Structure formats: C-alpha cells, structure tokens
Amino acid sequence: MDYSLSMEHEILRKSVRDFAENEIKPVARELDEKEEFSYDTMKAMAGLGLFGMFVSEEYGGQGMDYVSYIIATEEIARIDGSHAATIAAGNSLGIGPLYYYGNEEQKKKYLPKACSGETLWAFGLTEPNAGSDAGNTKTNAVLDGDEWVINGSKIFITNGSTDITAGVVALSKTGTRKDGRPELTSIIVEKGTPGFEARTMHGKLMWRGSDTSELYFDDCRVPKENLLGPVGDGFHQMLATLDGGRLSIGAMGLGGAQGAFDMALKYSKERVQFGKPISTFQVNSFKLADMATEIECARLLLYKACWLRDNEQPFGKIAAMGKLYCSEVMGRCVNHAVQLHGGYGLMKEYDIERFYRDHKLLEIGEGTSEVQRIVISRLIDAV
C-alpha cells in the first residue's frame, strides 16, 4: 500500500492553496454579501488552469489525473464554496459531458475555449418537477426536418447564465422506451439560440458568489447534429456524469470541512476565557479531535474513489460514499466550528458564518444524501 501523493500533487496543492488565500479570500465575503459572480476571479482561476484539468492536451486541457482535479477543488473550497462550485460545475458538469460524449467536431469546437476558461458550459438536468426523480424529465425535443425543437424548463443550473456561458447541454425527452420509461437524450443548445433563455436565480442561502440559473426552452430549434451522443443515451450519460460530479462535490465537502477546522483551531487557540485558550478545555479539544479524525477519514475515502477512477476500476459505490460522507463531515465540522466561535460565529465578518450556510447544498445537490444512501444500498445488495 502507498498512501503518498506524487510530488506534482503536492506542488499543485500548494499553488492552488496560495492562489485561493491570496486571490479569493480577500473578495469572497463581499461577493457572498452582494450575491455576485466575479469575472475577475473567474479569469484568474482560468489563468491558473483550473478548467479542463482532466481533459487531454489536444483539446486544450491539462491532461491531469482525477486526483489532481479533486485536490484543486478541495483547496478552493477550503477558502470559498462559491468559487469551488464554479470550478466543480464547470469541469464535471460543463466540460465533462462534452469531453466524454461529444464527437470529434463538437470537442474541437467547444473544448479549447471551455478549457481556457474563456467560456463556461452548464448541464441542464434538474427541472421544477424532476429533482431526484430525473426520469420524470418533462423537457422534450422533437425532430422536425433537420432540427430538434425543444420545449420545457430547467432549474438550479450552475453556470447557466453568466456573461461567458457559451451554452448548455439539455437533457430532453425524445420519446418513450419499450419498457415505458422516457427516452432521454442530451442536446447541445448554444447561447443566443432563439427560444432559449437563461435567467439568473437570486435569493440563495448558499454559494451566493456562484451563478445559478433557470433555463427556458420555448420552441427552441437547434440543428440535428447538436445531439450529444446517440439518441436515448441521455439517462446513462447523466448517471455517469454524476458519478464523476459526486467526487467534486465530495471535494467541496472535504475542503470546506478543512477550512472550517482550520478556522476553528486558530480561533480557539486565540480566544481566552476563564484565563485560558478555549482550545485547552476538553469539551472543545475533543470537538477539534473529532473534526480532525473525520476529515482524515473523508480524505482517504475520497482519494480512494479518485484512485479507482484513475486506475479504471469501478468507483460508483465509493464515489457515492465519498460524496455522502464528505458532505456530512463538513456539516458536523461547520457546526462545531460555529459553536467554537460563539457569538462571533454568527456574524458575517467571520468566514465561518458563510461556511455554515454554504455547506447545506452539499447534502442536496448532485444527488441528495438520501439518494446517495439509495445508491449505496443497491450497490451493497441490501435492496
């Protein structure tokens, strides 16, 4: 057994950590407060190479392994969830489907700009009435001559309505399968296509510095060749995309937990009550010990899932476990961390307040904790 990361992974971690501390930390709180997506930090993240990490160099990617992508996401999430969300969604949900299911022409057309961070892509899956029940997708596409005509809407779509969003992949119902279930197909819709509109959603509890949108398709016509993969492959593509996406949500939980722990340890060593730093009281030191232990477990689990993926072994079960565990560990860590900060932890001038809010999405997005438990139950043959 070898638990060590490569030297490149260590260099990557240090570089992304320094970047996040110096470039993102100073602006994260204000962006959260204003509920604003920053094109400046987006450009800086793109410049560092945080888009297209697992895409091969021929399409403008970095050609790195999945562990690298996860470490980078973890380090951004250690400082700010919103920026990590832009990266996780941009890579796993935006770039991923184009890279894994696009034909040569589509990859050459869309990936170089997406990997340089010049453009963002979004994955249109969730609908107002199709959350965990993705099979209930109502957005439909009908072939009319040489064009698909799409009607329907999507909700909670990350990166769908930024100024640099180049388009979305819309999971659409294109018919009914023999078994009576809907036939789902992925279709590429470029921004600017008549009948397609993306609206930014406001009033979020969390990830307020990231872009979340509603997508509307109203007799939206796209060329027949905008199919992403074969007709009917959409459901399978979605499941595979979410398997990978779960790792990046896991990375956000892990990084967020680490960030919360780092803040809690620092604060509780400095905060003096009854003449002693509060970290020295056993009731608090045990909280810190529990946090450190759980973070270590979360990291081992998540990295193992990445290792399985990088070594082309089945990783679905461990990915679901990693997503579930990392997001719940972050939940426990932010809870302890706010408690250790006392009244100050309830104030916006302390970043832990933002972490406490940002964490909640992780138990809901890209498969709720309940759905992860269903996935795991099936994979261990319990049901």
Partner 1 sequence: MNILVCLKQVPDTETQIKVAPDSKSIVTDNIKWVMNPYDEYAVEEGLRLKEKFGGEVTIIGVGPTRVTESIRTALAMGADKGILVDDPALTGSDSLGIAKILAAVIKDLDYNLILCGKQGVDDDYGVVGSNLAELLGIPQISIVLKLEVSEDGSTVKAHREVEGGILVIEAPLPALITAQKGLNEPRYASLPGIMKAKKKPLDVKTISDLGLDAGQVGESGAKIKIMQITPPEERGAGKIVEGETPQEKAANLAKLLHEEAKII
The reply on whether position 292 binds partner 1 by CB under 8 A is no
For residue 299, the minimal CB distance to partner 1 (Å) is 16
The reply on whether position 26 binds partner 1 by CB under 8 A is no
Say how far apart CA 23 and CA 300 lie, in whole Å.
28
SS3 32: helix
Q: Which is nearer to partner 1, 150 or 260 (CB)?
A: 260
Q: Please state the three-class secondary structure of 248-303 as a single string.
A: HHHHHHHHHHHHHHHHHHHHHHHCEECCEEHHHCHHHHHHHHHHHHHHHHHHHHHH
The reply on whether position 63 binds partner 1 by CB under 8 A is yes
Here's the x/- map for partner 1, 246-285, by CB under 8 A: it reads as ----------------------------------------
- Give the list of residues 6+ apart from residue 24 with CB closer than 8 angstroms, or none: 41, 76, 79, 80, 83
Sign, CA dihedral 38-216-242-128, equals positive
Here's the x/- map for partner 1, 31-60, by CB under 8 A: it reads as ----------------xxxx--x---x---
- Give the list of residues 6+ apart from residue 13 with CB closer than 8 angstroms, or none: 5, 71, 75
The reply on whether position 223 binds partner 1 by CB under 8 A is no
Residue whose C-alpha is closest to residue 300's, from 320, 334, 326: 326
Q: Which amino acid is at 294?
A: E
- In the list 24, 28, 42, 72, the residue contacting partner 1 (rule: CB under 8 A) is 72
Q: Which is nearer to partner 1, 83 or 359 (CB)?
A: 83
User: Is 366 part of the annotated catalytic residue set?
Assistant: yes
Q: Which is nearer to partner 1, 67 or 130 (CB)?
A: 67
Stretch that binds partner 1, among 11-19, 126-134, 313-321, 372-380 (CB under 8 A): 11-19
Say how far apart CA 52 and CA 73 lie, in whole Å.
12
- Give the list of residues 6+ apart from residue 293 with CB closer than 8 angstroms, or none: none
The reply on whether position 347 binds partner 1 by CB under 8 A is no
Backbone φ and ψ for 209, nearest 5 degrees, come out as -95, 10
- In the list 38, 41, 68, 268, the residue contacting partner 1 (rule: CB under 8 A) is 68
For residue 193, the minimal CB distance to partner 1 (Å) is 32
Q: Which residues bind partner 1 (CB under 8 A)?
A: 7-8, 10-12, 14-15, 18-19, 47-50, 53, 57, 62-64, 68, 72
